[in-house]
Amino acid sequence: MTTTLKGLAFAAASIAILAAAVPAYAQTEITVQRFFGTCDADFGTNTDISKSAGECGIITSQINKFMADNPDIKVNVNTVEWPGYDQLTAQMASGEPPDLVTMHESVISDYQSKGLLTPLGDVLATAGVDPAGFTAAGRDGVTKDGEVYGLPLDSHAILWHINLNLFKEAGLLNADGTPKMPTTVEELLAEATQFKEKTGKPFLVQAMANETAMFTRAMYIYLNQQGSDYFADPTKINLVTPEAKNVVQMMKDIYDQDLTTKDQDYAAMVAGFANGDGGVEVNGTWVIGDLDTLSKQDGKPLSGGYTVYPLPQLFGGTPSYYSDGHAWVMPTKDRSDDQVAAIGKFLKFMADDDYDWSRTGHIPAIQSVLDSDEFKALPHRDTILSVASIAKSLPSAVQRQFAIQDILGEEVASAVTGQKDIDAALTDAQSRINDLLANL
């Protein structure tokens, strides 16, 4: 081969390598920021969403599938530690926020009220997503000042995850094998005492160390059950009430009578319940899928003996509940028309695949999915569907809901564990929260 031919061959080979390395089209890049953990070892390359499980596995596989279906769009994924709002605030302050972010609906007002989020109405309409198809809870959760600021993914709530094997040992099953659910505080304490006497284990398995969310969400549920309008004015909370004292007194009685686990963080609670350390894990919709999978394995404390119910209606009155939701929101920033179109495609994909997200245990935010036989056929959905119709969030005008959650949870914990008198804890919680809201 002559030098000229060698040169031509080298040039041809170089062109072939470059052609293989560079797409034949220009990719539009968007940055998506999410929580829900990391699981690349199991699902990092998975595009078959039906083979994914759990929050992390499903959302990772959904994004992988979207990119496989849309090779002209490159999705850069930032995974942040839950809930990620400190990082997001810093990104916004620097002028470099991501294009889409997972956000709790209870937090949207904090950013929307400061002009940090862009309304999604036009983006959704162009992509073919009609907010009329959202559930009432989902639509309310993302609508602020009459405009839609997010694509709702779900409604989620804390529930009673029940070990039926231990309930049977304690004599707390009905004739049809369902758990006996208390209808008053007195019944709850009696059943919890019977459970402890029969099994030698605490009735409730709870996260009570470095945990505020569970205390607060339970407070909201039981205040709602009593018809307490504790946020009649969204700029002030009213906690110095008989209804609030009733709830904290119940929690303290459970604690003082050793009917619950103590000094456990979230991870210890999850592991303890899986290991059969108690009868009821107080945790969210998001663990239903994982616990159901565990119950189908042989030789486990939950084998063949898991179910889940809403927290019981203990205070009479009209059934009521509390829920929050996850949503995709779009931080305000300059974007090209192609990027906005790519965001619309991404949101349409997520709306169309809300069923797969509901396999986590969360309640769908798309009404057609909630109504579908496919969703209703998922394990345990029949026992929790009432949450979808009776649950409500805090009024949308209430700001700093995550900060309020921390304050209220801290003060309730101090009363439950005996560090403060109940009245003092509720007074302090009210004062601290109202000071926060008065100085926004």
**Residue 99 has what DSSP assignment?**
S
Q: Which residues of 383-407 are buried (b: 16+ CB within 10 A; e: fewer)?
A: bbeebbebbebbebebbbbbbbbeb
Say what the pLDDT of residue 318 is: 83
Cα separation, 138 vs 364, in Å, equals: 8
Cα separation, 221 vs 205, in Å, equals: 18
Q: Give the SS3 label for residue 357.
A: helix
Q: What confidence tens digit (pLDDT) does each residue in 334-371 have? A: 999 999 999 999 999 999 999 999 999 999 999 999 99
Band (pLDDT 50/70/90 cuts) for residue 396 is confident
Residue tagged 């199991």 (tokens)? 42
Spell out the domains of the chain, with CATH numbers in brackets: 26-156+324-392 (3.40.190.10), 158-322+399-438 (3.40.190.10)
Q: For 282-303, what is the mean pLDDT?
A: 95
Return the closest-CA partner of residue 416 out of 213, 208, 238, 240.
208
Return the closest-CA partner of residue 246 out of 264, 229, 228.
228
Tokens at residue 183, please? Answer: 């209808």
Tokens at residue 316, please? Answer: 């009479």
Average pLDDT, the chain: 93
Between the alpha carbon of residue 383 and those of residues 178, 363, 378, the distances in Å are 10, 12, 11
Q: Per mean pLDDT, which of 71-75, 80-84, 315-319, 388-392 is the most reliable?
A: 71-75
Q: Which residues of 226-257 are buried (b: 16+ CB within 10 A; e: fewer)?
A: bebebbeeeeebbbebebbbbbbebbbebbee
Q: For 78-94, what is the mean pLDDT?
A: 94
Say what the pLDDT of residue 335 is: 96
Q: What percent of the chain has pLDDT over 70?
A: 94
Whether 114 shows a pLDDT value over 70: the answer reads yes
Say what the pLDDT of residue 360 is: 93
Say what the pLDDT of residue 317 is: 80
Say what the pLDDT of residue 23 is: 54
Cα separation, 259 vs 136, in Å, equals: 37
Q: What confidence tens digit (pLDDT) does each residue in 4-50 have? A: 444 444 444 444 444 444 455 579 999 999 999 999 999 999 999 99
pTM for this prediction: 0.89
* 204 within 8 A of 159, measured Cβ to Cβ: no
* 366 within 8 A of 292, measured Cβ to Cβ: no
Cα separation, 108 vs 146, in Å, equals: 13
Q: What confidence tens digit (pLDDT) does each residue in 192-231 have? A: 999 999 999 999 999 998 888 899 999 999 999 999 999 9
